[in-house]
Structure 1
Amino acid sequence: MPATIFLVAIISIGATSAQTGDNAKSLVTDLFTTNKYQKKVRPVRDQNDLLVLMVDFHLIGINGVDEASQRLTTTGYLSTLWKDQYLEWDPTSYGGMISINIPQSYVWKPALALQNGFTKLQELGSSVINVNINISGHVIWEPYEVFESKCNIDVQYFPFDHQTCNISFIDWSHHAFEVQIQEGTYGIVTDELEDDGVWTVISTKLYHDTFDLESRLTYSVTIKRTPGFYVLNIIVPVILLGVLNLFTFVLPADSGEKMGYSITVFLSFAVFLIIVNSELPKTAGSIFGQYMIFQLGIALFTVCVTAIQLRFHFRTDPVPRLLSAVMACRCKSKRKITDRNENEKSDRDIDESKLEETWKDFISFLDFILFWVSFLVVLSFTIVVFLKLS
């Protein structure tokens, strides 16, 4: 065991111009063998004293947000500083050596864990991470991790939503009167934060409190979704399909394309929803999701109304007087029908005619009304929705 310690120390120790391998081996031997260092003992000579951990959180990146499972995945590391009273030495006795790097498994370290972790509770750090120790016994430990934390994600304002998620760290092995976690010099550091194509960090906060006699440090991160992709690939196509749907009422029934056009627009909505399904939140409550259902409902309404219109368009019986009275207020052109005998073919013989409404006139009038009513309803609903989202 001592030989292994010597080898690791020689490889990992940072040397100055006056330091030698013998100095490093002597220092490691004195600290961990001669002094009988015990990593299981809290490193304060008076066990009634409080050990303070100074912790800074370096946020490296936002890996992803899972709305369905309410999970935030981030990458970063904790810069943790504490004083180990059993790891002090006089540099003059060891060739001026003022600091060493030792594998984290050789020293006492706090049992820091992610309190609101999404997976099972586990201690931070791994065997490849070293700790740096200086002559005064101050230890610097920087465990690098991919953190999966729980987060209450509200997609109501998707894709213009903001999410505030907490990343809480706690020492599960010690009470708050034994080990206390405090904010370090910088708190939460975003200088190394890498750009993400979907999420942008807009603010951070830090909270310190005591949880069931355990000291806890909570980093609050507020992120904003970048809406550009969703606007170009989802929102704009939905609005354009809604506009195309309204023009069903512009096509005349005699064209023979009215029903086919309305069904095509409806199917376009359905197929588009299937295509973009993977990009939409998997949870309910999105205002934009309700807007898409509204547009799909308008398309369904258009198909049903078109089918009924075509049913009446080819009727030859007289239009009821009530419907004729409704149409009386519009500007219309009427078809002239003569009452003379078919044998009287000369135009001069036509001395009496009357104007009569037909079902074709009524359907044309209904298309005019439905177009403008649907246009105003869709426009108003769209404005209200996007005012809320923005």
Structure 2
Amino acid sequence: MMLAGFFFLLVLTAVDGQPSAAMCSYQDVLNYLNLTSSNELFSMTRPVKDYRQPTKVTLEVLLYAILDVKEIDQTFVPYVWIFMIWHNQYIKWDPNKFCGITSVSLPTEILWKPDLTIEEMTEKDKAPPSPLLIIHSNGRVVVQNDQVLVSSCRMHVYKFPFDTQSCTLSFRSVVHSVDELQLDHKYSSSEATNWSREAMRTQYEWLFIDMTVTNKTVNTFGMQQDMIIYTINMKRRSVLYIVNFLLPVLFFLCLDLASFLISDSGGEKLSFKVTVLLAVTVMQLILNEILPSSSDKIPLIVVFCIGIFALMMLSLLETILVMYLMEKDSASPDSEADEDQNLSEDCNKHGKAKSQSSEGEKKKWSQCACICDVPAEETPNILLKSSGSQLTEESHDFDRLSDELREGMKILTLLLKSRKEEGKPGYWTRMTKTINKVFFILYVIAAGLFLLCMCFSWTHSHE
């Protein structure tokens, strides 16, 4: 009987003990650790029992998205996840005594946290940080937080829009030296790159290449500190810039080449070239709003625009020169026309002189008629006198007529020559055709060589 009662008592004890083991809570763990918000042991100082022992912090960064890259402001805006892991020597419990509880989440204000800062950060994240952290039974503390960082980044736009940018995020402690706080990373550069590439959600106009992780010791105000640098390498997607900027400028160059088919006689060619030149100027103003003014080298795209602008300006100056020469050539026919007018006036004068000489002959014949009416005894003497004077006057008249005919022939030959020369182009007009041909050939050669040099510079030059 007593043996049966003893076994019955053991069964009751076991049945009563099962519910007590199943009723574990997180608060039991906190009570065991005496972890409260008023306990300064956990929140005031570094969690080490010997101050000479440094706190080792493992830092991991995951690039979740590239939100913006502002060249003119030289800022880089990424969306990152930051993981920090360190060991707290005051936290430790046996999970078997607390129903297998291995981790507990706590408010971040209760425990001490590393005072890490990002050197490149120019604006704090407006979103609130994560309110919780996780403690593990072996004393490990894990904090994970997502942030939108606005950081400074030195932009190298020499090969814009075919450029590759490298922006860094440098983590270090604010007040702790390397003897007190040591930074380390668990994942290598290739693992961090693959991890970020799998988690990447958006890349804006950039293509994420890789992310490198380096650890070094720096001297900050005479104090040695550990620093972890995450370098994010990315390449610009240049298709839209090619379609929206480079190709239109090339099209303007082609239009300027096509303007050589327009006649130089009118002002249409000059106005067309000026319009194309103004269009390139507008493209340069748009480019000025994109590129930063603090770059060490002149970007190749600026050289490209200036070269195209210079070629078009030379073409415009050549058109102005050609129009000036043609205007000069058109001024010489006007003087020739004045000479023709003078010649015609001379012809009119000579015609009047001829009419006057014919009138004189009529008077002479009327005098002869008067002689015929004279009496018979006076006629021989009168006839002799009149016939001698008449012969001398007629010889002089024939000489004058021959001279006038020679002058008339000269005038007619000059008029015929001037009429023939009106149909032929002038000297400067012929010269302008030669100038246009030579300049067009040189223009095409110069434009081709310039474009080849630009392509070579964009593909082979180093920033």
TM range (shorter): 0.7 to 0.9
One of 233, 245, 256 as aligned partner of 1:234: 245
What runs of 5+ residues in structure 1 fail to find an aligned partner? 1-17, 319-338
Kindly state the Cα deviation for residue 238 of structure 1 after the two structures are TM-superposed.
0.6
CA distance in 2, matches of 1:221, 1:214: 22
Q: Which protein is richer in helix relative to its size?
A: 2
Q: Which protein is richer in strand relative to its size?
A: 1
Quote the residue 2:387 is aligned against: none
The 3 A distance-change label for structure 1 pair 45 and 362 is: same
Contact 2:123/2:149 (CA < 8 Å) preserved in 1? no
Contact 2:72/2:291 (CA < 8 Å) preserved in 1? no
Contact 1:60/1:194 (CA < 8 Å) preserved in 2? yes
Size of the aligned set, in residue pairs, is 347
Quote the residue 2:83 is aligned against: 79
Kindly state the Cα deviation for residue 388 of structure 1 after the two structures are TM-superposed.
1.0
Aligned-partner residue type, residue 112 of structure 1: L
The 3 A distance-change label for structure 1 pair 278 and 344 is: closer
Kindly state the Cα deviation for residue 105 of structure 1 after the two structures are TM-superposed.
1.4
The 3 A distance-change label for structure 1 pair 357 and 291 is: same
Contact 1:77/1:142 (CA < 8 Å) preserved in 2? yes
TM-score between both structures, scaled by the size of structure 2: 0.68
Aligned-partner residue type, residue 291 of structure 1: F
Deviates more, 1:307-316 or 1:221-230: 307-316
Report the secondary structure of 2:50's partner residue. Answer: coil
CA distance in 2, matches of 1:344, 1:135: 120
Deviations 1:271-305 (Å, cap 9, x if unpaired)? 33345554455555211111102212222222232
Contact 1:105/1:127 (CA < 8 Å) preserved in 2? no
Contact 2:130/2:145 (CA < 8 Å) preserved in 1? no
Quote the residue 1:90 is aligned against: 94
- 2:230 is the counterpart of 1:219: yes
Quote the residue 2:457 is aligned against: 388
Q: Which has the larger radius of gyration?
A: 2
What runs of 5+ residues in structure 2 fail to find an aligned partner? 1-20, 333-410
Report the secondary structure of 1:145's partner residue. Answer: strand
Quote the residue 2:136 is aligned against: 134
Quote the residue 2:208 is aligned against: 201
Quote the residue 1:358 is aligned against: 427
CA distance in 1, matches of 2:304, 2:247: 13
Aligned-partner residue type, residue 105 of structure 1: E
Report the secondary structure of 1:214's partner residue. Answer: strand
Quote the residue 1:50 is aligned against: 54
Matches within 5 A, 1:5-154: 23-31=25-33, 32-33=35-36, 37-119=41-123, 126-154=128-156
Quote the residue 1:341 is aligned against: 413
Deviates more, 1:111-120 or 1:42-51: 111-120
- Percent identical among aligned pairs is 22
One of 244, 248, 252 as aligned partner of 2:259: 248
Aligned-partner residue type, residue 76 of structure 1: V
One of 323, 334, 340 as aligned partner of 1:310: 323
Quote the residue 1:335 is aligned against: none
Contact 1:19/1:97 (CA < 8 Å) preserved in 2? no
Aligned-partner residue type, residue 65 of structure 2: G
The 3 A distance-change label for structure 1 pair 280 and 250 is: farther
Report the secondary structure of 1:185's partner residue. Answer: coil
Deviates more, 1:266-275 or 1:200-209: 266-275
Quote the residue 1:370 is aligned against: 439
Aligned residues: CA RMSD: 3.2
TM-score between both structures, scaled by the size of structure 1: 0.80
Report the secondary structure of 1:379's partner residue. Answer: helix
The 3 A distance-change label for structure 1 pair 297 and 227 is: same
Contact 1:130/1:141 (CA < 8 Å) preserved in 2? yes
